[in-house]
C-alpha cells in the first residue's frame, strides 16, 4: 500500500509540474546508466511493488551559493526513464 501511495504521489507530481520539467524531459526513454554517467551515483532510490523504481539525484545548480536541485526519475523494470521531476525545495530547477 505504501508503494502504491508513493507511486500515485510521484505521478501526481509529474502531471502537476509537467510544464516545469522541460529541462529533464529529454531523459524519457534513456537508461539508468546514462543518468549515472551525467549525475553520478543516485542519492536515494525506492523500489516499487510493480517493479518500477524512483531514483533521486542531487545536482548542484550553483556551487558558489550551494543551491542544489533534486532530480527524481521514475524507471521501469528495464531501467528506462518513464518521466522525471526537478525541484530545489522552493520551486522547479530551471
Q: What is the mean pLDDT of each run of 10 residues along the chain (94 residues)?
A: 59 43 79 94 94 90 66 95 84 59
Q: What is the pLDDT of residue 19?
A: 36
Sign of the CA dihedral running 41, 48, 52, 20: negative
Which pTM does this prediction carry?
Answer: 0.68
Kindly list the structural domains of the chain, giving each domain's residue range(s) and its CATH number in brackets, ordered by start. Answer: 2-87 (3.30.1450)
Q: What is the pLDDT of residue 86?
A: 86
> Residues 28, 4, 70, CA angle at the centre, nearest 5°?
45
Report how far residue 76's alpha carbon sits from residue 88's, in angstroms, rounded to the nearest whole number: 25
Sign of the CA dihedral running 5, 10, 15, 17: positive
Q: What is the pLDDT of residue 9?
A: 54
Amino acid at each position: 500500500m505504501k508503494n502504491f501511495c508513493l507511486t500515485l504521489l510521484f505521478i501526481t507530481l509529474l502531471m502537476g509540474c509537467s510544464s516545469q520539467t522541460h529541462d529533464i524531459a529529454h531523459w524519457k526513454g534513456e537508461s539508468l546508466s546514462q543518468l549515472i554517467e551525467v549525475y553520478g551515483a543516485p542519492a536515494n532510490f525506492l523500489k516499487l511493488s510493480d517493479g518500477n523504481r524512483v531514483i533521486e539525484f542531487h545536482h548542484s545548480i550553483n556551487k558558489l551559493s550551494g543551491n542544489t536541485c533534486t532530480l527524481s526519475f521514475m524507471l521501469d523494470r528495464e531501467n528506462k526513464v518513464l518521466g522525471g521531476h526537478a525541484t530545489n525545495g522552493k520551486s522547479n530547477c530551471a
